[in-house]
Amino acid sequence: MPKGVPNKRYTPEFKRMVVETMEKEHLSIYATMQEFGINDHKIIERWERIYLEEGPEGLS
């Protein structure tokens, strides 16, 4: 059974904060997961890819 809240929605502001904090503080994906209480590394990887390809607006 997966951990965390199923179908949890994250705001664009939260996504941007996660990615920018990870970049600024040179955190690994797993350290970022612990910092923000996110249980799936794929979510953060997806946000990071979108942020790098489309900029912060892409996370909306």
CA distance 28 to 17: 15
pLDDT the model gives residue 38: 93
In a domain, 55, yes or no: yes
In a domain, 7, yes or no: no
pLDDT the model gives residue 57: 93
The domain tally of the chain equals 1
CA distance 48 to 15: 9
CA 33 centroid distance within chain: 8
Q: 10-residue block means of pLDDT along the chain (60 residues)?
A: 60 95 96 94 95 94
- Its domain, for residue 39, covers 12-59
pLDDT the model gives residue 9: 83
Kindly report the pTM of this predicted structure: 0.82
